[in-house]
């Protein structure tokens, strides 16, 4: 008696491990250590290990959300149907008999926020949110080797719930085959060092990298299925996928690998850790989409060199060339600014430069970052604006630079995001409002539930804690000729900002931006390897069009030198005064 899963033929012993689980299945409960800080057991958390899947940790649905997110959901049960719903009517229903998931909108389960976390005061205030009616999504979890248990309450693999809850704030929960760790890449909960696997150090990594231990078959099969679920179900559209986005959409990840890259699939299911790590590297080489999707855990040094590594997997390895080329280009752009004497912060890329002769102010930054904790302290009277402006908060720095340009008598203001790889949407919205009268809008298509959402917001430009006409007047007092310098490095928010500003009449100059139009989520494999991916939130312009292929230029700057090599200093020696004067003359 045999059946096939993921294209593999399995014997009778494996069938038992793959059978749908009923409420009478045997299990053991263990109290697993939880780490929220390095080297300190915060508490223990009850985890079930079922007899037929002894290496996969299961947690009770509401206990998980209450412990790690401070939320609980209303549970209704109809025999084998367990429904968890929010106060807004969103729901997820699991059929535990058939392992089928029904959902109107899974985002209510995640840390994905449209603009800001609800527990922080910031400079942003949402005024209206419009969303079309979600479409119910039905997913057969059996297709992904994800078994859900019910015995009055719902029990799901911890990694399954962490995949649903690890949203755009890069906050999630992970299991490293030994303990549970709270992962906080963006310092969402802690006003200190970000709590990621590197923060936890060897305590987190040692069980994963212990090569004397083979991967159990139940964990290998489930881990592969969960990977496929994450990239089939809660992933967004990109035009730059090395594997080919259309292939992934039409075939699913498993079908794509079986058809074109069976060796990668074989490695991902391998019980030998080195072979598994090899497959992990190759998988994320092929899933490279310009910068959002990629492996965070470095396993390269633990992979033995295969003689035919490059020959067999040439297509899948394209991203190593692409990524290294982008990295080299970014460094060349930064070097060009250094050669011209720009005084840049080494970490953030922040700089302000004013040329009195042309009356042009240049403002640069390399990422969009919002220090939510500091803004919350500011609006609660615990910090001054200077405490925020001079660290790493992007909106605070750009706002301050606008005032500096105004005081310097600038006529032309140029935002330099040529070496900017993206970041937080809240920072983008704050910056955009400086150009748009203290108000703005933010649009996206949700690929999971087929909705379109538009969020309208006000920004506290004068930082008095109020959102009113004084902010409009303050933003309108910035009366500059505006331009933005972009390049292929301008990715994600570095691609979205020029899209927003172009609609506001700002001129886009330089080289075409590098794309990236989805929000990014964090996830981990079932054995604790971390990665990021484009998620189901696809940002658009006002017309609903995707801008993943980059934002069209108003003026291309030729950066080729006389020697046939790139000369990125031309981006910054460009005569903006002459350019703006020519625009005015043409209008006349």
**What is the fold of 326-587?**
2-enoyl-CoA Hydratase; Chain A, domain 1 (3.90.226)
Its pTM stands at 0.83
> What pLDDT is recorded for position 309?
52
Q: Could you read off the pLDDT of 553-584 as tens digits, one per residue? A: 999 999 998 888 899 999 999 999 999 999 98
Q: Which of the two residues, 567 and 520, has the higher pLDDT score?
A: 567
- Provide the 3-class DSSP secondary structure of residue 7: coil
Poorest-pLDDT segment among 109-123, 124-138, 331-345:
109-123
Q: What is the mean pLDDT of residues 111-134?
A: 74
Q: Taking Cα atoms as reference points, which of 211, 192, 141, 145 lies closest to residue 38?
A: 192
3-state SS of 505-562? CCEEEECCCCECCEEEEEEECCCCCEEEEEEEEEEECCCCCECCCCCCCCEECCCECC
DSSP secondary structure code for residue 574 in this structure: S
- Per-residue pLDDT reduced to its tens digit, 12-35: 233 333 334 445 679 999 999 999
For all residues of the chain together, what is the average pLDDT?
87
- List, for residues 93-103, the tens digit of each pLDDT value: 999 999 999 99
The per-residue pLDDT for 168 is 62
Rounded CA separation 281/316 (Å): 10
pLDDT above 70 covers what percent of the chain? 88
Give the pLDDT score at 245: 79
Is residue 49 a contact partner of residue 30, using CB atoms and an 8 Å limit? yes
Q: What is the pLDDT of residues 231-288, one digit of tens each?
A: 999 888 777 887 877 888 899 999 999 998 898 999 999 999 988 988 898 898 888 8
Q: For residue 543, give the nearest of 581, 580, 502 by alpha carbon.
A: 502
Domain ranges across the chain:
326-587
pLDDT in tens, 480-506: 999 999 999 999 999 999 999 999 999
Write the DSSP assignment of 180-195 as a string of letters: EEEEETT-SS-SSS-B
Residue 452 CA to its chain's centroid (Å): 19
CA angle (354 as vertex; 583, 395 as ends), nearest 5 = 90
Q: What is the CA radius of gyration of the chain?
A: 25
* pLDDT value of position 564: 85
Q: Please, which residues have CB within 8 angstroms of residue 372's CB and are 6 or more apart in sequence?
A: 116, 117, 120, 122, 188, 426
Q: Mapping DSSP to helix (H, G, I), strand (E, B) and coil, where does residue 573 land?
A: helix
- So what's the pLDDT on residue 189? 62
Please give the Cα distance from 365 to 431 (Å, whole number): 12
Name which of 475, 449, 395, 389 is nearest 427 in CA terms: 395
Distance, CA of 386 to CA of 397 (rounded, Å): 10
Partner residues linked to 454 by β-bridges = 130, 443
């Amino acid at each position: 008696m045999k059946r096939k899963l993921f294209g593999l033929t399995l014997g009778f012993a494996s069938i038992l491990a793959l059978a749908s689980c009923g409420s009478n299945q045997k299990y053991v409960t263990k109290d697993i250590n939880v780490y929220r800080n390095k080297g300190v057991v915060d508490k223990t958390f009850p985890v079930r290990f079922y007899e037929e899947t002894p290496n996969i940790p299961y947690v009770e649905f509401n206990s998980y959300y209450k412990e790690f997110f401070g939320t609980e959901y209303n549970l209704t049960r109809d025999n084998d149907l367990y429904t968890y719903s929010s106060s807004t009517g969103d729901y997820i229903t699991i059929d535990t008999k058939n392992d089928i998931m029904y959902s109107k909108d899974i985002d209510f389960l995640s840390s994905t926020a449209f603009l800001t976390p609800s527990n922080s005061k910031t400079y942003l205030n949402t005024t209206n949110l419009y969303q079309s009616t979600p479409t119910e999504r039905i997913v057969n979890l059996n297709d992904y080797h994800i078994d859900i248990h019910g015995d009055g309450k719902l029990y799901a693999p911890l990694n399954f719930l962490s995949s649903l809850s690890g949203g755009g704030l890069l906050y999630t929960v992970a299991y490293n085959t030994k303990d549970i760790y709270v992962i906080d890449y963006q310092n969402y909960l802690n006003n200190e060092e970000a709590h990621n696997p590197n923060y936890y150090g060897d305590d987190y990594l040692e069980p994963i990298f212990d090569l004397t231990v083979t991967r159990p078959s139940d964990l290998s099969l489930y881990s592969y299925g969960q990977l496929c679920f994450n990239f089939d179900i809660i992933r967004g559209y990109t035009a730059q996928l090395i594997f080919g986005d259309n292939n992934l959409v039409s075939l699913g990840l498993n079908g794509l690998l079986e058809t074109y890259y069976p060796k990668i699939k074989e490695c991902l299911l391998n019980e030998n850790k080195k072979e598994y790590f090899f497959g992990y590297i190759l998988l994320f080489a092929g899933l490279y989409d310009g910068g959002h999707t990629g492996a965070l855990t470095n396993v390269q040094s633990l992979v033995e060199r295969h003689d035919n590594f490059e020959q067999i997997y040439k297509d899948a390895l394209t991203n190593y060339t692409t990524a290294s080329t982008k990295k080299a280009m970014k460094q060349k752009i930064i070097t060009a600014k250094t050669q011209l004497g720009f005084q840049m912060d080494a970490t953030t890329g922040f700089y302000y430069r004013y040329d009195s002769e042309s009356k042009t102010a240049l403002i640069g930054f390399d990422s969009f970052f919002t220090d939510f904790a500091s803004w919350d302290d500011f609006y609660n009277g615990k910090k001054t604006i200077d405490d925020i402006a001079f660290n790493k908060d992007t909106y605070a720095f750009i706002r301050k630079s606008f005032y500096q340009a105004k005081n310097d008598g600038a006529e032309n203001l140029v935002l330099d995001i040529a070496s900017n790889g993206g970041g937080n949407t809240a920072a983008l919205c704050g910056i955009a409002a400086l150009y748009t009268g203290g108000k703005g809008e933010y649009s996206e298509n949700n690929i999971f539930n087929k909705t379109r959402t538009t969020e309208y917001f006000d920004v506290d430009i004068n930082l008095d804690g109020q959102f009113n006409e004084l902010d409009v007047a303050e933003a309108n007092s910035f009366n500059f000729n505006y331009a933005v310098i972009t390049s292929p490095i301008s990715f994600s928010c570095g691609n979205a900002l020029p899209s927003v500003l172009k609609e506001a009449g700002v001129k886009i100059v330089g080289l075409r931006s590098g794309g990236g139009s989805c929000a990014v989520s964090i996830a981990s494999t079932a054995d604790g390897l971390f990665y990021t991916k484009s998620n189901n939130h696809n940002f658009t312009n006002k017309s609903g069009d995707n801008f993943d292929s980059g934002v069209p230029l108003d003026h291309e700057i030729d950066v080729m030198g006389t020697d046939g090599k790139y000369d990125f200093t031309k981006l910054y020696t460009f005569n903006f005064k002459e350019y703006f004067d020519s625009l005015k003359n043409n209008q006349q």
